[in-house]
């Protein structure tokens, strides 16, 4: 194991970048963007360099581990490390940030806030996103979890749409409420650990092994789960998401829904299940119920939306239902599928919001589907990317989201036949609303006022190509991410003492990943 502080370095680079950007003169907006992009790309390169050294078959749970005592009085340390799940999510974050910066090149021009401020916030957010996925101290995780709110709050509140203030405050309050319940549980966990071991700790590895009383587990689980369910968001804690998404810049929405919300599902998998195994299985039916409702509710409401960004937000809510479902059916395929789905959803969300953003910029920032028709006649490249994004969202086979969704459904079938059967119907509605948007906006006669619309420029295509490429490549060849995810998921399964149901048909395991 290399002792080089990879993760700290990854976190520090964007932070330094944001400081540099902040101290640039206000007039040099272009330079600020270039500097921000450069730092984001350096972070991405470092991530790739780190990922190449990741050993999928290692016996240690976490790699690139660093540990430094921070507040010994409360057993808090600065401890980071990643397992396969953390690694792919860190990679997702560091991949999307440069893309968002490039795609949002002009987002902050002529806005209330300064241009450099927007890009500095993105870089700060990147640091926090890396931190939240890399933390192996529960307290440190919580700090990053809460601190993430601040840049997003400002990104929505200063650079958002007409109702930005309302959306920003709603987002902040929802998240704070969730976060504070998690804080209550966090303190409870600390006290419980102090009562069991004699000295309180926040070290993840020590907490996982604790034999916590089942009743205490149930209470503590609720605090964590509530925070994660607001973040993810699951039905019925989702109402902040459509407002936040609709009022955000496309880039903000991508980072918010594509990466930040994954912290919720990541947290369930990383913290709720291993630390509170008894409570997790106790609450699993309820969570599965919420997930199922979310799948259909989100999809159903998405059907009725005329605002593209709100539609994508509701569709995301439906997808989060799938992710949570995969986690709580306690099968290794389901959980691996959830992690793949997190990545896939990050990519498809990015594609959808960015393409829609490009489209909106060309028509007075209107997000209304009814304002568009026949766009593929004047902007075929844009329409093409929009189609790829849509198909990725409905999980067309051959795209990475299909891998995730299919594995989740398979895992659900293994555990509860009927749950899998119900969830499968969600796919149909997804197809309906996604294709409806495409059909209404991109095909048909050209709408008035769109005749002069320009097709995508070089910068915009550069931003979208990597997403599309990853979507397709990982769709056909998911092995690179599955290879790192599977050992991590197996460890979760072992920790919670769950095992896959014996397959009645021996060939039930797909792609050689079943146990």
Q: Which residues sit at the interface with other proteins, rule CB under 8 A?
A: 70-74, 112, 142-143, 146-147, 150, 154, 157-158, 164-165, 168-169, 172-173, 176-177, 180-181, 183-184, 187-188, 190-191, 194-195, 200, 219
CB of 235 to other proteins, least distance (A): 21
Which residue, 157 or 298, is less far from other proteins as judged by CB?
A: 157
Q: For the chain, give me the number of helices (H) and strands (E)?
A: 22, 2
CB of 188 to other proteins, least distance (A): 6
Question: Which residues, other chains included, contact 443 with Cβ-Cβ below 8 Å and sequence gap of 6+?
Answer: 373, 374, 376
CA atoms within a 13 Å half-sphere pointing along the CA-CB vector of 154: 17
CB of 131 to other proteins, least distance (A): 12
- CA separation for the pair 112, 158 (Å, rounded): 6
Which residue, 184 or 510, is less far from other proteins as judged by CB?
A: 184
Which residue, 178 or 404, is less far from other proteins as judged by CB?
A: 178
Which residue, 167 or 447, is less far from other proteins as judged by CB?
A: 167
- CA separation for the pair 295, 269 (Å, rounded): 19
Angle at which helix 29-53 crosses helix 84-103, to 10 degrees, equals 160
DSSP state of 260: I
Which residue, 164 or 310, is less far from other proteins as judged by CB?
A: 164
Which residue, 186 or 470, is less far from other proteins as judged by CB?
A: 186
- CA separation for the pair 153, 96 (Å, rounded): 19
DSSP states along 193-253: HHHHHSS---BHHHHHT----HHHHHHHHHHHHHHHHHHTTPTTS-THHHHHHHHS-HHHH
CB of 485 to other proteins, least distance (A): 29
Alpha helices by DSSP H, listed for 304-399, are: 308-328, 332-361, 375-378, 380-393
Which helix (H) or strand (E) segment holds residue 214: the answer is helix 214-231
CB of 272 to other proteins, least distance (A): 19
CB of 122 to other proteins, least distance (A): 17
CB of 70 to other proteins, least distance (A): 8
- CA separation for the pair 424, 295 (Å, rounded): 10
Query: What are 135's strand-pairing partners?
Result: 80
Which residue, 56 or 176, is less far from other proteins as judged by CB?
A: 176
The alpha carbon of 41 is separated from its chain's Cα centroid by a whole number of angstroms, namely 20
Residue bearing tokens 């489209």? 359
Which residue, 105 or 190, is less far from other proteins as judged by CB?
A: 190
> Phi/psi of residue 307, each to 5°?
-100, 120
CB of 71 to other proteins, least distance (A): 5
Q: Quick count: other Cβ atoms within 10 Å of Cβ 412?
A: 29
């Amino acid at each position: 194991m290399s002792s080089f502080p990879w993760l700290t370095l990854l976190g520090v680079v964007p932070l330094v970048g944001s400081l540099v950007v902040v101290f640039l003169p206000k007039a040099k907006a272009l330079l600020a963007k270039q500097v921000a992009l450069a730092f984001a790309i350096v972070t991405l390169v470092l991530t790739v360099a780190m990922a190449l050294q990741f050993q999928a078959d290692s016996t240690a749970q976490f790699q690139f581990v660093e540990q430094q005592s921070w507040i010994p009085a409360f057993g808090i340390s600065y401890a980071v490390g990643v397992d396969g799940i953390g690694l792919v999510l860190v990679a997702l974050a560091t991949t999307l940030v440069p893309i968002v910066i490039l795609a949002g090149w002009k987002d902050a021009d002529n806005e209330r806030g300064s241009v450099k401020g927007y890009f500095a916030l993105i870089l700060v957010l990147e640091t926090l996103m890396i931190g939240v996925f890399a933390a192996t101290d529960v307290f440190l995780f919580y700090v990053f979890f809460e601190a993430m709110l601040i840049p997003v709050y400002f990104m929505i509140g200063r650079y958002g749409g007409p109702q930005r203030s309302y959306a920003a405050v709603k987002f902040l309050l929802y998240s704070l409420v969730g976060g504070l319940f998690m804080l209550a549980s966090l303190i409870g966990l600390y006290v419980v650990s102090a009562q069991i071991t004699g000295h309180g700790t926040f070290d993840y590895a020590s907490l996982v092994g604790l034999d916590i009383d089942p009743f205490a587990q149930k209470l503590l689980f609720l605090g964590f789960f509530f925070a994660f369910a607001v973040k993810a968001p699951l039905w019925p804690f989702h109402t902040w998401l459509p407002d936040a998404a609709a009022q955000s810049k496309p880039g903000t929405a991508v980072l918010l829904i594509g990466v930040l919300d994954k912290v919720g599902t990541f947290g369930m998998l990383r913290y709720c299940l291993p630390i509170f195994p008894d409570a997790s299985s106790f609450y699993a039916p309820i969570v599965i119920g919420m997930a199922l409702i979310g799948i259909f509710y989100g999809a159903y409401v998405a059907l009725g939306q005329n605002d593209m960004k709100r539609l994508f937000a509701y569709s995301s809510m439906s997808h989060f239902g799938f992710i949570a479902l995969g986690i709580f059916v306690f099968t290794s395929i389901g959980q691996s599928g959830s992690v793949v789905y997190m990545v896939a959803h990050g990519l498809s969300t990015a594609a959808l919001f960015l393409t829609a953003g490009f489209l909106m910029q060309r028509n007075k920032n209107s997000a209304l589907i009814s304002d568009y028709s026949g766009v593929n006649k004047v902007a075929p490249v844009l329409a093409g990317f929009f189609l790829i994004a849509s198909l990725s969202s409905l999980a067309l086979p051959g795209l990475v989201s299909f891998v995730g969704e299919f594995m989740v459904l398979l895992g659900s079938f293994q555990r509860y036949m009927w749950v899998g059967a119900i969830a499968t119907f969600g796919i149909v509605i997804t197809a309906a609303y996604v294709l409806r948007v495409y059909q209404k906006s991109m095909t048909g006669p050209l709408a008035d006022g769109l005749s002069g619309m320009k097709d995508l420029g070089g910068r915009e295509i550069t931003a979208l190509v990597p997403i599309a490429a990853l979507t397709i490549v990982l769709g056909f060849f998911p092995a690179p991410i599955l290879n790192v995810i599977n050992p991590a998921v197996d460890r979760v399964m072992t920790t919670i003492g769950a095992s896959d149901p014996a397959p009645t048909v021996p060939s039930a395991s797909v792609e050689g990943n079943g146990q």
